[in-house]
Structure 1
Amino acid sequence: MTGKTCLIVEDQLETGSFLTKIVKVAFPNVATVLAQDLKSAIAIINDPLRFKDAPLGLCIVDLGLPDGSGIDVIRELKEKNPDVPSVVATIYDDDAFLFKALAAGAFGYLLKADDESSLVNTLKLIENNNPPLSPSIARRLLQEFRDDDKPNKPDVNLSPRERETLVLIGRGLTVNEVAAEMKLSAQTVAGYVKIIYQKLHVSNRVELIREATRRGLV
């Protein structure tokens, strides 16, 4: 991380300052840039001159932004600079946000409620290419992905259209948005979603994203 830049996406100045402090303690030789909304973050990521002297090496993202979701920042960074890890820093500790962020490409997930020293030590895991996860998040993922569950999960044969639908749903798109993306009717996409639910044995979107992520389908 030495000589690189960390982009912090956080709309609250006080919290932005706190996260900046965390980064500086964890990585003393890293520069920081603060973006307070989705639009600014996307513009910074796509500015070729912004990181001329100190390349972008890390992005810390809040999920709740005034003009959109931090998930879109994660997706943009994943597309434009896939080697740069994005780490969520949020108050949301429920599965819906967690698995949606992971499906979008987040490398880590930190809870702002954790104490300062814990956040610093967890963030430092990046230096060894280990995902920084708050302890409660790590425990939850271990429970979800424990090895003894895997043999009980049969292979799922999804058609190309079903897999494409699943990927788009995993990115957080609605049925209407998926239909527009795939140039199909919303009724057709809804039919694909129903089939996917049956094949994955899930009953709601949170379970769908979790199960698809566990199986490596998204």
Structure 2
Amino acid sequence: MESILVIEDNPDTREWLKALAEEAFPGARVDEEATLEAGRAALEKGYNLALVDLSLPDGSGVDILIDIQTGHPDTFAVVTTIYDDDRHLFDAIRAGAKGYLLKDQPRERLVAQLKGIARGDPPLSPGVSRRILRYLAGGARRTESDAPRLTDREMEVLGLLSRGFNRHEIGKALDITANTAAGYVKSIYRKLHVSGRAEAIREAIGYGLVSTGRPEGD
């Protein structure tokens, strides 16, 4: 790991995570950001690893994970959080997290888990691993066949949403009015049982309805 981005709003915790990253990957450049928007801007520089807090002052770290998965697939995203529950865990995994570390672990264990990335070991806290195994054992994984039925046009709109298009841009791309595009977006939200773009993309990725890579030509 040559470059690492830490996205964490608490200054003390941010410095602590930076120190952990420097210990795990000596010589790596470690940058820090405290907000969702600053993290998004920093990602444009390109990083090998991102340590992402889920609770940020201007939004959810899940939105950053979606950005990484759809626009920066070469960045290895790891959640660093206090949240030890299924909702936060599986939302993060569906959004693209490759690891999920709880901050209350001993320092040496966290460093060892980060070092394991170089060996191909996913950095997961022990309790998190047990939750994932329990989830898989219960056959709860969602597939595209489980997904809500979207029309062909709604799938087109969803694909453009996942690329960051707003309703005016969607309308122009599909040769429809912005109001018609907004109607399709509302229908998608209703069928996916979500209330916003980030949630819609997260659910769509979870069901395999949209690609997780950067579209060709972007």
TM over 0.5: yes
Q: Distance in 1 between matches of 2:54 and 2:180?
A: 24
Aligned residues: 181
Equivalent of residue 84 in structure 1, options 51, 64, 75 = 75
Q: CA deviation at 1:159?
A: 3.1
CA 125–182 in structure 1, closer or farther in 2 if over 3 Å, else same: farther
Q: Where in structure 2 are the equivalents of 1:43-58 lying within 5 Å? A: 43-47=41-45, 56-58=47-49
Unaligned runs of 5+ in 1: 48-54, 172-179, 195-204
Which residue of 1 is the match for residue 35 of structure 2?
A: 37
Which residue of 2 is the match for residue 104 of structure 1?
A: 95
CA 157–98 in structure 1, closer or farther in 2 if over 3 Å, else same: closer
Identity between Structure 1 and Structure 2 (%): 33
Q: Distance in 1 between matches of 2:151 and 2:108?
A: 46
1:35-62 Cα shifts (integer Å, max 9, x gaps): 0111111111124xxxxxxx51100000
Structure 1 counterpart of 2:18, which letter? T
Q: How large is the Cα RMSD of the aligned pairs? A: 3.5
Structure 1 counterpart of 2:95, which letter? A
- Say if 2:148 and 2:191, in contact at 8 Å, map to a contact too: no
1:56-97 Cα shifts (integer Å, max 9, x gaps): 110000011111111121122222220211100001111111
CA 142–60 in structure 1, closer or farther in 2 if over 3 Å, else same: same
Q: Distance in 2 between matches of 1:100 and 1:161?
A: 25
SS at match of 2:27: coil
Which residue of 2 is the match for residue 177 of structure 1?
A: none
Unaligned runs of 5+ in 2: 163-178, 194-198, 211-218
Q: CA deviation at 1:121?
A: 1.1
Which residue of 1 is the match for residue 216 of structure 2?
A: none
Q: Distance in 2 between matches of 1:57 and 1:186?
A: 34
Which residue of 2 is the match for residue 184 of structure 1?
A: 183
Which residue of 2 is the match for residue 176 of structure 1?
A: none
Q: Distance in 2 between matches of 1:80 and 1:186?
A: 21
Task: Check if 1:127 corresponds to 2:125.
Answer: no
Taking structure 2 as the reference length, what is the TM-score of the superposition?
Answer: 0.69
Which residue of 2 is the match for residue 27 of structure 1?
A: 25
1:127-185 Cα shifts (integer Å, max 9, x gaps): 12222111100111011113x748xx9x6475344995xx89xx9xxxxxxxx996336
- Say if 2:5 and 2:47, in contact at 8 Å, map to a contact too: yes
Q: Distance in 1 between matches of 2:180 and 2:53?
A: 26
CA 191–101 in structure 1, closer or farther in 2 if over 3 Å, else same: closer
Task: Check if 1:70 corresponds to 2:69.
Answer: no
Q: CA deviation at 1:7?
A: 0.2
- Say if 2:18 and 2:30, in contact at 8 Å, map to a contact too: yes
Q: Distance in 1 between matches of 2:73 and 2:190?
A: 33
Q: CA deviation at 1:190?
A: 6.8
Which residue of 1 is the match for residue 16 of structure 2?
A: 18
CA 126–161 in structure 1, closer or farther in 2 if over 3 Å, else same: farther
SS at match of 2:65: helix
Q: Distance in 2 between matches of 1:45 and 1:102?
A: 19
1:9-49 Cα shifts (integer Å, max 9, x gaps): 011111011101111111112110000111111111124xx
